[in-house]
Chain A
Amino acid sequence: MSEPQSFLRKYIFSLDHKIIGIQYIVTGFAMAIVGGLLSLLIRLQLGWPTVMWPILETLMPNAYQSGVMAPEFYLAAVTMHGTIMAFFFISYVLVSGFGNYLVPLQVGAKDMAFPLLNMLSYWIGLVSALVMIMAFFVEGGAAAAGWTAYPPLSALPGAVPGSGLGQSVWLLSMALFIVSFTMTSLNVVATVFSMRAKGMSMMRMPMTVWSFFIASVMGLLAFPALTAGAIMLLFDRHAGTAFFLPAGLIIGGNLVEVGGGSPLLWQHLFWFLGHPEVYVLILPALGINFDILAAFTRKPIFGYRIAVWSLILSGFLGMIVWGHHMFVSGMSPFSGEYFSLSTLLITIPMAVVGVCMLGSLWGGRLKMATPGLFALGLISMFGTGGFGGLFLGNATADIQLHDTYFVVGHFHLMIGGVTVFGTFAAIYFWFPKMFGRLMNETLGRVHFWITTIGYYLIFLTQHFVGLQGAPRRYYAFGSYEYLEQTATSNEFISIAAMVVGAAQAMFIFNFVWSMFRGKVTDTNPWRATTLEWSLPSPPPHGNFATPPVVHRWPYEYSPDGGENDFAGQQVDGGNVPVTA
């Protein structure tokens, strides 16, 4: 491959998977800033519901008439926060971003299987993100039906202000997102199947590659359900059909003419995507974590084969448990039983993965730097979040807990904790490969400790607020006597959230500053074994000057120490150990 010369072709309309990966990462973080600011607005409202904010009124006169957040804006903020964080932050940074950056490098390929498709995927993805942001500026404001877009709120343009143009824009953006994400997933699967280097058998692939591979397969199989749902919803909104609109619906005192449809149908279609989607997000975080742990414990991970099969199994089970989001929807008790059972089943492979991670720590010589700290933090979030999931997976308990802050606390530990910690671990770990410089270690450590402690303060407290009965998606708790007891907790959570938010600003500063001023490092600062570390930093266009040959699995570390306590996958000779 010849390297393109012009700036535009090299850095903007690039076909190089590494550039595209970094483009995705930067875009995702930009979206995370928007999503994060929204969460702070939400917290401001929940923590101090009666305080007036004249500054916010000047900034957003429509949302803050006379200095108080409008209830409609609260709903829009929650919806957009959730949508942006799940689809435009984690999906972009962790899955599309690192997936793009790492998969070809780690399987020893010169690029993705379809570079042009890859570039298209990014640009469609960028448009999709911009369209989503645009929703704030259309008449009626952004969509307000939650990131789950349940009808009838999402199906009747007149239901709430955000159900108007904002919801249409939301659907349009999601359609583009699905196209873009499908292209990336297709590329990952095709690359793993067809571009592995000589010697890179499936069972020699790093956990990172395995996790991206499984996540991509799941994405390809699950997203079409949302596509179908979105198409039908668009027809309900604009063409007078009644797929999701029930009969006899009364909105604002008027009977809705069309009807006979099933709002439950949407929930099934949404969660058939929605639950696999959380695995699409969480599996790469887990896979990456194994590889980072290995480099910081200086020993092979525990149970490679078992962990691979557990990821595959959880991916499979993840496709058939979606109904646990719908226990209170009036589904038949029989289905409830089934979904309870399958959900409890899925905790088995997930627990095995957790045990493998803990086992990987056992007997290691922990030499901690920021990426390793975040890897440990991830394990802890995974444990705590999973523990909460045990309660929710049981239909009997969930009937109490559903739609309370217990759920909010749970899913933030999982999809907000595990995936975000995985993302940070990955950034700190591969930053030197991307830019040839290290991120600042002190800032990194401070970032880690504030984020970890803050996350627990925020989201564990939310569990208890939930147990006290506080429902989610409520704009203010002041008008309910039994919820007065949550006021202090809510103030506390909000303060913690502000502190965590501030720590992220520090991270962004560290990222940008280190790109130009960070300590210059050699090609393999963590002395890790996967193929990308055998390349210069940043790796050249086309990655490998000559096609690499793989001689061993990716976890050849020996804890007896010394400079040469590891062997890269490309290193020939020596005794090749049995895997797992």
Chain B
Amino acid sequence: MNHAATSQLGPDVAQRDFQLHLGMGIFLGTVTMLFGAFSSAYIVRGSTSQDWQAIQLPSFLWLNTLVIVISSISLELARRAGKAGDWRRAGIWLGTTLVLAMLFFGGQLAAWEWLWAAGISVPSTPHSSFFFILTGLHAVHLLAGLALLGVAGARVMRVSANDPVSERRAFLPMSVGAMLWHFLAALWVYLIIMLTLFA
């Protein structure tokens, strides 16, 4: 993690930054196992029973998938801008990311609403149980990502360029948050494929 701001602040700070990224990496490892466990449950429950009934999912979920993928890209652009010290651009891309994130949450709510209106709830069929639990769990993790990006946004707005301390404070939540966010975007793509194509 050798970006512009940190390298001026000495080895202790660089070490701290490394640790924070490492911590997030380890955390993502256990989250991977969590969804892995759910996936194998999905396969077992689906293949060993007679009562499996696939539910129809709203097609706008694919649009929502596009939204979260783009948000991931814009966050990456923000992160790179921040790393280069271009805070105006970083702010713009981070703002874009936050808007897209909200859009995704909106789409998620709409999807739940849509199913609800069609009379499908958690216990309706095993497939719907998995759908609600997995997307819900994903959303919970997204909230954590959103919180990190929110902190980053607040700090980017108040960053004073060429002050390494303030730059680091703005960059860190963005960079650690990006790890989480990219992961969750990829996870979403995986989930939606599993839940629709392998229903």
Q: Do A and B bind each other?
A: yes
Chain A interface residues (CB < 8 Å from chain B):
113-114, 117, 182, 186, 189-190, 193-195, 220-225, 227-229, 231-232, 235, 239-243, 247, 258-262, 264-265, 268-269, 272
> Which among B22, B27, B37 is the interface contact of A228 at CB below 8 angstroms?
B37
13 contacts between A and B (CB under 8 A): A113-B22, A189-B26, A190-B22, A194-B15, A228-B37, A232-B133, A241-B122, A243-B45, A260-B50, A261-B45, A261-B49, A262-B48, A265-B41
User: Given A225-B33, A239-B123, A242-B51, A186–B45 Cβ distance below 8 Å?
Assistant: no
Residue contact B45 to A269, C-beta cutoff 8 Å:
no
Residues of A contacting B33 with CB < 8 Å?
220-225
Judged by a CB distance under 8 angstroms, whether B129 is at the interface is yes
Residues of A contacting B106 with CB < 8 Å?
none
Q: Output the least CB separation between A338 and chain B (Å).
A: 16
Residue contact A260 to B37, C-beta cutoff 8 Å:
no
> Which among B22, B23, B40, B49 is the interface contact of A260 at CB below 8 angstroms?
B49
User: Given A194-B15, A235-B129, A258–B30 Cβ distance below 8 Å?
Assistant: no
Q: Output the least CB separation between B24 and chain A (Å).
A: 10
Residue contact B122 to A190, C-beta cutoff 8 Å:
no
B 132-150 contacts with A by CB, 8 A: 133, 137
B 145-190 contacts with A by CB, 8 A: none
Task: Taking A224-B36, A243-B126, A243-B129 as given, write out 14 further A-B residue pairs in contact, using a Cβ cutoff of 8 Å, ordered by the A residue number.
Answer: A113-B19, A114-B23, A182-B30, A186-B30, A190-B26, A194-B18, A194-B22, A223-B30, A225-B37, A231-B137, A239-B122, A241-B126, A242-B129, A265-B41
Judged by a CB distance under 8 angstroms, whether B10 is at the interface is no
> Please, which residue of chain A has its CB at the minimum distance from the CB of B49?
A260
Judged by a CB distance under 8 angstroms, whether B119 is at the interface is no
Determine the distance from Cα of A117 to Cα of B122 in the docked complex, in whole angstroms.
34
User: Given A241-B122, A260-B50, A269–B37 Cβ distance below 8 Å?
Assistant: yes
> Which among A220, A227, A240, A261 is the interface contact of B26 at CB below 8 angstroms?
A220
> Which among B18, B19, B29, B36 is the interface contact of A220 at CB below 8 angstroms?
B29
7 interchain residue pairs of minimum CB distance: A260-B51, A240-B123, A224-B34, A228-B37, A224-B33, A225-B37, A241-B129
> Please, which residue of chain A has its CB at the minimum distance from the CB of B122?
A239
User: Given A228-B41, A229-B37, A242-B126, A190–B23 Cβ distance below 8 Å?
Assistant: yes
Judged by a CB distance under 8 angstroms, whether B62 is at the interface is no
Residue contact B122 to A227, C-beta cutoff 8 Å:
no
Residue contact B22 to A193, C-beta cutoff 8 Å:
yes
Q: Output the least CB separation between A264 and chain B (Å).
A: 8
Residues of A contacting B49 with CB < 8 Å?
247, 260-262
Determine the distance from Cα of A243 to Cα of B44 in the docked complex, in whole angstroms.
10
Q: Output the least CB separation between B20 and chain A (Å).
A: 9
Residue contact B51 to A113, C-beta cutoff 8 Å:
no
Q: Chain B binding site: helix, strand, loop or mixed by DSSP?
A: helix
User: Given A241-B129, A261-B126, A186–B41 Cβ distance below 8 Å?
Assistant: no
Judged by a CB distance under 8 angstroms, whether B31 is at the interface is yes
Question: How many contacts A-B (CB < 8 Å)?
Answer: 100
Determine the distance from Cα of A247 to Cα of B38 in the docked complex, in whole angstroms.
21
B 32-58 contacts with A by CB, 8 A: 33-34, 36-38, 40-41, 44-45, 48-52
Q: Output the least CB separation between A151 and chain B (Å).
A: 13
Q: Chain A binding site: helix, strand, loop or mixed by DSSP?
A: helix
Residues of A contacting B50 with CB < 8 Å?
247, 260
Count of B interface residues, CB-CB < 8 Å: 30
Residue contact A269 to B41, C-beta cutoff 8 Å:
yes
Determine the distance from Cα of A190 to Cα of B45 in the docked complex, in whole angstroms.
36
Residues of B contacting A225 with CB < 8 Å?
33, 37
> Please, which residue of chain A has its CB at the minimum distance from the CB of B51?
A260
Residues of A contacting B37 with CB < 8 Å?
224-225, 227-229, 269, 272
Residue contact A268 to B44, C-beta cutoff 8 Å:
yes
Residues of B contacting A240 with CB < 8 Å?
122-123
Residue contact A242 to B41, C-beta cutoff 8 Å:
no
Determine the distance from Cα of A260 to Cα of B123 in the docked complex, in whole angstroms.
12
Determine the distance from Cα of A260 to Cα of B49 in the docked complex, in whole angstroms.
6
Determine the distance from Cα of A324 to Cα of B126 in the docked complex, in whole angstroms.
28
Residues of A contacting B52 with CB < 8 Å?
260
A interface footprint on B109-141 (CB within 8 Å = 1, 0 otherwise): 000000000000011001001000100010000
Residue contact A258 to B123, C-beta cutoff 8 Å:
yes
Determine the distance from Cα of A113 to Cα of B23 in the docked complex, in whole angstroms.
9
> Please, which residue of chain B has its CB at the minimum distance from the CB of A216?
B26
Residues of B contacting A221 with CB < 8 Å?
29-30, 33
Residues of A contacting B36 with CB < 8 Å?
224
Residue contact B27 to A243, C-beta cutoff 8 Å:
no
Residues of B contacting A247 with CB < 8 Å?
49-51
Q: Output the least CB separation between B42 and chain A (Å).
A: 10
Determine the distance from Cα of A269 to Cα of B19 in the docked complex, in whole angstroms.
31
Residues of B contacting A262 with CB < 8 Å?
44-45, 48-49
Residues of B contacting A228 with CB < 8 Å?
34, 37-38, 41
User: Given A114-B19, A220-B29, A231–B133 Cβ distance below 8 Å?
Assistant: yes
Residues of A contacting B31 with CB < 8 Å?
224
Residues of B contacting A222 with CB < 8 Å?
33
Q: Output the least CB separation between B60 and chain A (Å).
A: 25
Residues of B contacting A190 with CB < 8 Å?
19, 22-23, 26
Determine the distance from Cα of A372 to Cα of B120 in the docked complex, in whole angstroms.
63
Q: Output the least CB separation between B34 and chain A (Å).
A: 4
Residues of A contacting B30 with CB < 8 Å?
182, 186, 220-221, 223-224
Residues of A contacting B23 with CB < 8 Å?
113-114, 117, 186, 190
Residues of A contacting B137 with CB < 8 Å?
231
Determine the distance from Cα of A114 to Cα of B29 in the docked complex, in whole angstroms.
17
Determine the distance from Cα of A117 to Cα of B34 in the docked complex, in whole angstroms.
20
> Please, which residue of chain B has its CB at the minimum distance from the CB of A114?
B23
Determine the distance from Cα of A195 to Cα of B37 in the docked complex, in whole angstroms.
31
Determine the distance from Cα of A220 to Cα of B33 in the docked complex, in whole angstroms.
8
Residues of A contacting B133 with CB < 8 Å?
231-232, 235
Residues of B contacting A264 with CB < 8 Å?
44, 48
Residue contact A241 to B19, C-beta cutoff 8 Å:
no
Determine the distance from Cα of A420 to Cα of B49 in the docked complex, in whole angstroms.
43
Residues of A contacting B129 with CB < 8 Å?
235, 241-243
Determine the distance from Cα of A190 to Cα of B48 in the docked complex, in whole angstroms.
40
Residue contact B122 to A259, C-beta cutoff 8 Å:
no
Residues of A contacting B15 with CB < 8 Å?
194
A interface footprint on B92-104 (CB within 8 Å = 1, 0 otherwise): 0000000000000
Which of A114, A195, A227 is most buried by chain B, counting CB atoms within 10 A of its CB?
Answer: A227
> Please, which residue of chain A has its CB at the minimum distance from the CB of B34?
A224
Residues of A contacting B48 with CB < 8 Å?
262, 264-265
Determine the distance from Cα of A260 to Cα of B124 in the docked complex, in whole angstroms.
12
Residue contact B123 to A242, C-beta cutoff 8 Å:
yes
Residue contact B41 to A232, C-beta cutoff 8 Å:
yes
Determine the distance from Cα of A265 to Cα of B19 in the docked complex, in whole angstroms.
37
Q: Output the least CB separation between A109 and chain B (Å).
A: 11
Determine the distance from Cα of A241 to Cα of B27 in the docked complex, in whole angstroms.
29
